[in-house]
Amino acid sequence: MEVILFHLMPYADLDLEKGRANGTVWVNLPNSNFDPVKGHKLYNRYLDELEYGEELGFDAIAVNEHHQTAYGLMPSPIVTASALARRTKRAKIAILGSALPLREHPLMVAEEHAMIDVISGGRLISGFVRGIGAEYHTFGVNPTFSHDRFHEAHDLIVRAWTEPGPFAFQGRHYNVQYVNLWPRPYQKPHPPIWIPSQGSRETIDWSAHPDRRYTYLQTFSPASVVQRYLKMYRDTCKGFGYEAEDRQLGWAVPVYVAQTDEAARREAKPHFEAFRNVFVRMPVEMLLPPGYTSRESLKSVMKAKAAMFADITLEKSIELGVIVCGSPASARAALESYWKDMRFGNLLVLCQFGTLPADLTRKNMELFAREVMPAVKAFRSSAELVR
């Protein structure tokens, strides 16, 4: 099992009342709410936390991309991953991921990822995403072409990484006369590709395909939902005639550990509830613009709307497995039980969430690394032991 420290870099200094009053911190929360001086401190604190992750023994440290929101201050994960590439020596660096359809030119993504891979000596994990619905509002990219652009951009990037250049690429959305990447990526044939997703049928079919076998990450969902989608991925692989390896599956989940269950809950509560009930929140029109998902998925979300868009407490979130929170022993037990149900080979832990301050974040990371991570890394399925 690989354990990855994942960071969203939220604007933790947000005036939560303003975020609440606006109904969302995405798209249209005025950027007068962002203070660059506070932002300076936050960026450096968060980068320090990720670098500390290497020291604590995490297998990888991970960043992601979100635009024009207090939810995450990483419109370019390239910037944060680049900074980390020079400040770390051992840990892999995961970009989870670059939002391909939002980019004017996918070759830039191919180039930037290749640069980080070469600079870091082959430590890059490349993640590709479509960007979330809100970002189609902020970027103006047509969501009804989102899947098409994603697939075409992916094809161009992988070909640019692997085929000798120069060659010409003709697509519906991108056309290049001379694809001839300098630098080529360090890893052969190219950096591993991970696909973070909220669980769409289309994405599972595509990433499980035998030509790709990309690692599928289920992000921030109740454990039962994660389990359903990871099983769907395994079943899809079986349908393609092969058995998924555990390394093809991952779960991203917030984790908070303290000396006792009671302390963990008390310390995490306001910060997790800010994350879940303020930072994540957005209206359905923002989350799912037309064409971003199939109309059938859109309808099921609209049906579940009341549950999805209501406030949820920390206690309920623990029960649902939206967060792992408790003493080290409780966290170990919870993760082992989830792992037995799901057999994910990658666990991505979010040790900072919402407004969680620096001292609690460090304490959480240290305790998790010392008292939970060794046990988690030792989880091995019998199939893996045979190999």
Partner 1 sequence: MAFSERFIEVDGCRLNLRRGGSGEPLLYLHGASGAPAVLPFMEKLAQRFDMLVPEHPGFGASDEPGWLENMHDLAYFYLDVLESLELRGLHLVGSSLGGWLALEMAVRDASRLKSLLLVGPAGISVPGVKPGDVFLWSPEELTRNLFFDPALAEKMLAQPMTPELLDVSLKNRHTVARLGWEPRMHDPFLRKWLHRVNVPVKIVWGEADKILPVAYAGEFKKLMPAAEVEIIPRCGHLPQAERPEEFCDIVMRFAGKR
- Residues lying near partner 1 in the complex (CB under 8 A): 27-28, 136-137, 140-145, 283-286, 289-291, 295, 298-299
Q: How far is the CB of 142 from partner 1 (least distance, A)?
A: 4
Contacts (Cβ under 8 Å, ≥6 apart) of 386: none
**Complex with partner 1: residue 10 or 289, whichever CB lies closer:** 289
DSSP 278: I
Peptide bond into 166 cis (omega under 30): yes
35 Cβ neighbours under 8 A, 6+ residues apart: 13
How many angstroms separate the CA atoms of 6 and 84, rounded?
A: 13
CB nearer to partner 1: pick between 138 and 277: 138
Nearer to partner 1, 289 or 354 (CB): 289
Q: For residues 284 and 375, which CB has a smaller minimum distance to partner 1 in the complex?
A: 284
Shortest spacing between CB 303 and partner 1, in angstroms: 10
Cβ–Cβ under 8 Å, residues 46 and 63: no
**Shorter beta-carbon distance to partner 1: residue 185 or 289:** 289
Query: Which residue number, 49 or 152, has a Cβ lying nearer to partner 1?
Result: 152
**Closest approach of Cβ 103 to partner 1, in Å?**
15
| C-alpha–C-alpha distance, residues 289 and 75, integer Å | 20
Task: Specify the 3-state DSSP secondary structure of 38.
Answer: helix
For the CB of residue 172, give the shortest distance to partner 1 in the complex, in Å: 9
Taking the C-alpha atoms of residue 177 and residue 209, their distance in angstroms, rounded to an integer, is: 29
Beta bridge partners of 126: 95, 193
Our CB check for partner 1 shows the closer of 136 and 206 to be 136
CA distance 147 to 160: 20
- Cis peptide bond upstream of 289, omega within 30: no
Give which of 31, 26, 62 is closest to 136, Cα–Cα: 26
Min separation Cβ 174 and partner 1, Å: 15
CA separation, residue 94 to residues 159, 265, 324, 377 (Å): 20, 29, 22, 18
Q: How far is the CB of 140 from partner 1 (least distance, A)?
A: 4
CB 186 to partner 1: min, Å: 36
Alpha carbons 299 and 293: distance in angstroms, whole number: 10
Report whether the peptide linkage leading into residue 183 is cis, meaning its omega lies within 30 degrees of zero: yes
Question: Please, what is the minimum distance in Å from the beta carbon of residue 19 to partner 1?
Answer: 17
